[in-house]
Structure 1
Amino acid sequence: MVLKFYASQFVAAGNGIVALALAEKQAAFEFVPIDMAAGEHKTEEYIAMNPFGQVPVINDDGFAIYESRAICRYLDERFAGKGATLVPKGMKERAVVEQAISVESMAFAPPLAKVVMELVFKVHRGLAPDQALADEGMKEISDILEVFEVILAKHRYLAGDNFTLADLVHYAYAPMLAENGVDIMTVKERPNVARWWNELMSRPTWVKLKAGGMKSTL
């Protein structure tokens, strides 16, 4: 049975990073689009796979798993030996990757979500953003990126000289900033961050995914 990938058509958030992980692992899968507006994520069948009723979910021959970071880790082992190695096997190397993923989850993502809500989602809905809240989030992101600048002066990616899950998780929401006229990832004052981010945005798997959208690879 081929692996099934349940997600919305939106190439961002957890949907986007799982789709990117599948591409990086060169994994064959069937894409099952979930219409959130129609409530397909709240059906009894779907809740049986994810009791929280959220996307994405993968179902690998009856084994269902949710939460994007957990899915990516599973895919890296499931398709070991194919494509990029997202989580290294060495104990110390793996610890550095997990360290960076924790920073993204606990320090980078929260203020980013704040900015995206105010300057992207609200604007698209015709609502007035809370500029003070957005500015607060931008300051918090800038502070994190200042540390990233130091880290990225030492090596090519966040957890070393190889692309890993530590980098991949940053595709969740950050690309939406530049897409909506908010430039914080490539400012000249942080050349190492800009170099890293430009490389991530031009990564062939990401470029192809953004151009082609979500679709099966069968």
Structure 2
Amino acid sequence: MAIDLYFTAGSAPCRVVLLVAAALDLQLNLKPLNLWEREQLQADFLKLNPQHTVPTIVDEGFPLWESRAISRYLVNKYGGDSSSLYPKDLMARALVDQRLDFDIGTLYPRFAQYFYPQVFGGAKPDAAALKKLEEALVFLNAFLEGQKYVTGDVLTIADLSLVATISTIDAAEISLKSYPNVEKWFELMKTTAPDYQNANQKGIDEFKKLIAQMKAKTEL
């Protein structure tokens, strides 16, 4: 039975779930929500998720939201005992968790604080916010020093989460050239993340369209 995924095209957190599902070869029943039309506030969806956020999954009647929680759940349930996506070893798993927390608590919020006021509100670029984002990218570059993936030599859900963020930063035309380890890893992820084109790049293309539309409105 397919897992229902309520999602919005272009959303980085939604792309995380698509990437993890692809890595696990899971079938998803995609249920797009138009946030601009406030479809997330419909009564049926609020019963599933009172926070009315995407992504949200429903698996055998069990609703769950927050992309990193969903990622852990899917691997724990469907990945099998030997899945390297979210390793069983305590220290290895803790490192994956740290990278996931870095993504949701540091990297993505700093990008959002810098970029979204510009594209959605027409604000001028904030130099202080950009500096904080650049600091986060320096951290990620350091994590990747001497490593193939963000926790070592094996692809994990931390990579899938972080590539959704980094590809969004790249789509926003924020240069990664000062972070060579990040650039190298990003190119690797495009070829090693399962079904990257469908799971992530299609959403990036939608995100770019949204940016263009919003910039056109704020420039009127």
**Is the shorter-chain TM-score for this pair beyond 0.5, marking a shared fold?**
yes
CA–CA distance in structure 1, aligned partners of residues 34 and 165 of structure 2: 20
- Runs of 4+ residues over 6 Å off in structure 1: none
Note closer, same or farther for the CA distance 1:67–1:80 as it changes in structure 2 (3 Å cut). same
Say if 1:116 and 1:173, in contact at 8 Å, map to a contact too.
no
Gaps of 5+ in 1: 214-218
Q: Deviations over 1:39-67 (max 9, x none)?
A: 32111211111011111111111111111
Say if 2:141 and 2:180, in contact at 8 Å, map to a contact too.
yes
Gaps of 5+ in 2: 204-220
Q: How does 1:33-48 map to 2 (within 5 A)?
A: 33-48=32-47
1:130 and 2:154 correspond: no
Taking only aligned residues, the RMSD between alpha carbons, in angstroms, comes to 2.3
Number of aligned residues: 202
Note closer, same or farther for the CA distance 1:160–1:147 as it changes in structure 2 (3 Å cut). same
CA–CA distance in structure 2, aligned partners of residues 115 and 157 of structure 1: 26
1:114 and 2:104 correspond: no
Residue of 151, 157, 161 corresponding to 2:149:
157
What's the TM-score once normalised by structure 1's chain length?
Answer: 0.82
Residue of 199, 207, 210 corresponding to 2:197:
207
Note closer, same or farther for the CA distance 1:96–1:62 as it changes in structure 2 (3 Å cut). same
Note closer, same or farther for the CA distance 1:138–1:92 as it changes in structure 2 (3 Å cut). same
Q: Deviations over 1:113-160 (max 9, x none)?
A: 1123045x33xxxx53322x2x32321122222233333123111111
Q: Deviations over 1:152-196 (max 9, x none)?
A: 12311111111112222223443233223221x2x1x43222111
The one-letter amino acid of 2:198's match is K
Say if 1:101 and 1:169, in contact at 8 Å, map to a contact too.
yes
Q: Deviations over 1:78-116 (max 9, x none)?
A: 211499632111111101111111222222122111123
Note closer, same or farther for the CA distance 1:211–1:106 as it changes in structure 2 (3 Å cut). closer
More helix as a share of residues: 2
